[in-house]
Amino acid sequence: MTAAVRKASFALTGRLHKLGIFNDADLLLHLPMRYEDETRLTPIRALASGVSQQVEGEVEHAEITFRPRRQLVARLRDDSGTLVLRFLNFYPAIQKMLEPGKRVRAFGEVRSGFWGEEMIHPRVLAVTAGEALPQALTPVYPATAGLAQSALRKLVGRAFERASLADLLPESLRRSLKLAGWERSLRYLHQPPTDARLGALDARSHPAWRRIKFDELLAQQISLRKAYVERRAHAAAQLHPQGILTARLIEALPFALTGAQRRAVDEIARDIAQPYPMQRLLQGDVGSGKTIVAALAMLQAAENGLQAALMAPTEILAEQHYRKLAGWLQPLGLEVAWLSGSQKKRERAAMLEKIATGEALLVVGTHALIEETVALEKLGLAVVDEQHRFGVRQRLALREKVCGRLPHMLMMSATPIPRTLAMSYMADLDVSVLDELPPGRTPIVTKLVADARRDEVIERVRDACREGRQAYWVCPLIEESETLQLQTAVETFETLRAELAELKVGLVHGRLKPAEKAEVMDAFLRNEVQVLVATTVIEVGVDVPNASLMVIEHAERFGLSQLHQLRGRVGRGAAASSCVLVYAQPLSQNGRERLKAIYETTDGFEIARRDLHLRGPGEFIGARQSGVPLLRYADLERDVDLIEAAKQAAEEMQARFPDAAEALLARWYGGRAELLKA
């Protein structure tokens, strides 16, 4: 291998890893997300909008225009009419293909544009007159930048030659469940035969899809059953409820626990008194009050003379937790230690000492907690806030702090998982749900405002602050470039500072040093800063009750859960709160649906459901990060019958065909098995 080839194949491997592909078996399970019908040509005049179709014609004209921004515009003609092809991003290769006089096929969706019918970013292919059309449907794979469909198709083809295609489902089971054969199903989906119909394939109702989905569910059930058994075989310290300090804390709180909080507290209290480790997810919408539930559990550990640690994904959040916990627990005579990456050396050393000696039973921190220098020998309970923000290894690292025994684990997440999802996904992750918000919150009013009316939004901010309230102004994530994102935030900050001269405007973004971030957040918390311009760093957990207005720019670029999380930053105090979503035209279909969903409901579960629908479960709660064997193909709502069948089959496989059960796990989780242990 030459250095260049090695480098190229290294890059390819990296891209495949990004897609969760580590070996040939993974490639076979990397199934098309949809198919395109390139077997036909549609005359330009007969194009229907809203569906992807293919046309063929001669390029009549092509030019690069600069208004409103740089783009390549070409006009294509066939016997029936002309069509505009528009490219906002394009490579020289495309430009070359679209020189006047050349013949191309274009595949895409047609819309009515300013100059009549047009396709934006169609896929184009240079052809010669009369060139044969493909005979079968074209699979479209989930891909990533730098990895072309054609390359994936080739890789999959090779995988068919190398990977095992054995049917791991015992014949008797397969028959009684009336399922299609494994190899046939795989081949059908990757390389549909010429008579395959787009409808059944896209709806995933075809028997080939059912077979894949069944195996996926079966592998999941088997792995969950194994995890359950393994967990119960581990020892953990029994943290019996002592009740004395807990009662005092509850009494001292300025509020009464909600019914949902009490239920969760009881469930956790019971679990951590068991001699095997708890594995529980505390799930509750933003603002549902998860922190106090965690504090009460931590207190139970301390009452048993063991340590409890709370790990949060950002410095801002960790510090906020530290303050809350110290406020609640120090009056009870308990020391709370605090660790963060930005801490001064001397302070850190002192904290480490307190933690090592066990003088501090309660510890709060960021990732700094899992560093090797931190000795948490007496750790009885580990709490991970916003658990989906952590990699699986990071969560596991906390567990490994203790020799011999495992600590109890409490994971917290504000990303609500629809109940059906939670139950069947997480047979080995018990779930407590806070499905009730503390009383006295006024509902948040959501407004959608077009970009052009930005001035009115600024006036709203002015009004809110004049009444003594505070506002967040969130700038969007710009995926392509962190620098651009930063630049946008800084520009917005400058503009707002000029426009709202009478107010103090602050800026917080990911490039600030932790101490600087903390300083800005502090000032905001103390109302010394009235308007906080922020990138998405504020997304998780920040609690500033006086902030009642949230402005989100380019809201159409945010994911649904993200919008929900951001909106949850307001509406935490008694004042009426609002969230203004500023969007830019034109909206994509998906963007429009996201905005509609966030506008129509504030119910986190409903939002999660729609999010799931819009994104597909594969992406849900950062699939690859979550450590839970998420489903890529089966749909828990549509495929309930398969879930039931898979549950029963899992039991039978483990009892009667343990080798096949293991092979199935290897096939589905293979190189990722490690990730699924959590």
* The entry of ligand ADP, Mg ion, none that residue 216 binds, CB within 5 to 8 Å by partner kind: none
Using CB under 6 A as the binding rule, the residues of this chain from 437 to 456 that contact ligand ADP are 438
* Cβ-based nearer residue to ligand ADP, 435 or 556: 435
What residue has token string 């007496």?
Answer: 378
Could you list the beta-strand ranges (E) of 98-153. 103-113, 116-120, 123-126, 138-140
Q: Distance between CA 84 and CA 65 in Å, rounded?
A: 13
Is 293 within 8 Å of 308 (Cβ atoms)?
no
Is 630 within 8 Å of 185 (Cβ atoms)?
no
Window of 256-264, 266-274, 399-407, 639-647 that interacts with ligand ADP by CB under 6 A: 256-264
From candidates 281, 292, 363, 370, binder to ligand ADP by CB under 6 A: 292
From candidates 196, 257, 269, 614, binder to ligand ADP by CB under 6 A: 257
Beta strand pairing call for 408-413 and 379-384: parallel
**Cβ at position 385, least distance to Mg ion in Å:** 6
| DSSP structural state of residue 49 | B
What residue has token string 């550990």?
Answer: 301
From candidates 220, 223, 258, 343, binder to ligand ADP by CB under 6 A: 258
* Binding residues with ligand ADP: total (CB under 6 A): 17
Is 530 within 8 Å of 454 (Cβ atoms)?
no
**Cβ at position 437, least distance to Mg ion in Å:** 13
Using CB under 6 A as the binding rule, the residues of this chain from 490 to 549 that contact ligand ADP are 541, 543
- Number of other CB atoms surrounding residue 507 within 10 Å: 22
* Cβ-based nearer residue to Mg ion, 287 or 617: 287
How would you label 521-558 residue by residue, b for 16+ Cβ within 10 Å and e otherwise? Answer: bebbbeeebbbbbbbbbbbbbbbbebbbbbbbbbbbbb
SS3 of 581, please?
strand
* Amino acid occupying residue 151: A
**Cβ at position 666, least distance to ligand ADP in Å:** 39
Q: Distance between CA 276 and CA 406 in Å, rounded?
A: 8
SS3 of 292, please?
helix
Nearest C-alpha neighbor of 253 from the set 293, 214, 220: 293
Kindly state whether residue 287 participates in binding ligand ADP, applying the rule CB under 6 A.
Answer: yes
Window of 157-165, 199-207, 280-288, 370-378 that interacts with ligand ADP by CB under 6 A: 280-288
**Cβ at position 336, least distance to ligand ADP in Å:** 16
Kindly state whether residue 541 participates in binding Mg ion, applying the rule CB under 5 A.
Answer: yes
From candidates 30, 231, 290, 469, binder to ligand ADP by CB under 6 A: 290
CA–chain centroid gap for 416, Å, is: 11
**Cβ at position 328, least distance to ligand ADP in Å:** 9
Residue with CB nearest ligand ADP? 289
* Cβ-based nearer residue to Mg ion, 324 or 594: 324
Is 115 within 8 Å of 84 (Cβ atoms)?
yes
For ligand ADP, what does the binding mask look like between residues 566 and 605, x meaning CB under 6 A?
A: ------x---------------------------------
* Cβ-based nearer residue to ligand ADP, 221 or 602: 602
Which chain residues interact with ligand ADP by CB under 6 A? 255, 257-258, 261, 284, 286-292, 414, 438, 541, 543, 572
Which chain residues interact with Mg ion by CB under 5 A? 541
